[in-house]
Amino acid sequence: MTAVADARAHSEADGTAVEAFLRRLGVDHPGRPTLAALRRIHERHVLTVPFENLDFVLRKPIALGAAALPKLVEQRRGGGCYELNGCLAEVLRALGYDVTIYGARVYIDDVPGPLLGHLVLRVLAEDSAEPWLVDVGYGRSFRFPLRLDDREPQPDPQGVYRIAEAADGDLDVLRGDVPQYRLEPHPRTIADFEPTLYWFQTAPESPFLTGLFCSLHTETGKITISGDTLVRLHEGQRTKTVLGSEAARRDAYRTWFGFDLAEVPEPPR
């Protein structure tokens, strides 16, 4: 069995779901798992699928891996890293990429947070010998994959990123000089993240329960709903609009993120 066939054999996403996912992103089926196609998929994902925690606040079930596809495709929603990167892992495998799931710890007040608090991907393309860091499930993440083995600054439309050696063989991912998360470069399964997901869903101090957010990068900036405030960043200019009613919030989610909500979450107090 070839490496490409073997990668596809281990994907839980079927062909119909993969095609629907690619249509959501607005990209054609790449045919072959090339680096150019990976960059295109990553960019379109970052610019199309929002990073959001609405279902956490609504106390709805959170699906992992390929099980998140209906939410992303049929409901045209976004999600957290477990949903977005977990789902993308299965799609990329179905397309023939060599994908390894890694765990990471997001920095909180200059200290790495909970173990396996973040999920990212190591990806190999058929025409590139170097591994690539793929992450479409982080609010301040890069638009294009990063060279995982490169320790020099890597310019990106959303900032200059750098991967640095850390203690115990880990890696720090920095945006500018600010560490974003600490990566543990050894394979994980999607099931490894279930205990931390439960913590995020239930702990009073969980960042997914203490705030309400939905954000999406654009070609010229970023659109965010934080609590009851719409923040638009366009070419360096920031504007804020208070969404004073449920109807206003519902309309904002529809207008700026393209989905209708059966239930609009209240910002946590």
Active site residues: 81, 118, 135
Rounded Cα–Cα distance for residues 149 and 163 (Å): 8
Helix (H, G, I), strand (E, B) or coil at 215: strand
Q: Which residues contact 232 (CB under 8 A, 6 or more apart)?
A: 221, 222, 223, 224, 238, 239, 240, 241
Amino acid identity for residue 190 in this structure:
I
Rounded Cα–Cα distance for residues 204 and 218 (Å): 32
C-alpha distances out from residue 222 to 7, 17, 140, 143, 256, Å: 34, 28, 10, 12, 10
Give the strands of the sheet with 237-242, arranged side by side. 51-52, 213-217, 221-226, 229-234, 237-242
The runs of H, that is alpha helices, within 104-228 are 194-202
Burial classification of residue 113, based on how many CB atoms lie within 10 Å of its CB (0-12 exposed, 13-18 middle, 19 or more buried): middle
**b/e map of 80-92 (b: 16 or more CB within 10 Å)?**
bbbbbbbbbbbbb
Residue found by looking up tokens 């010998």 in the block:
129
Tell me how far apart the terminal alpha carbons of the chain are, to the nearest angstrom. Answer: 55
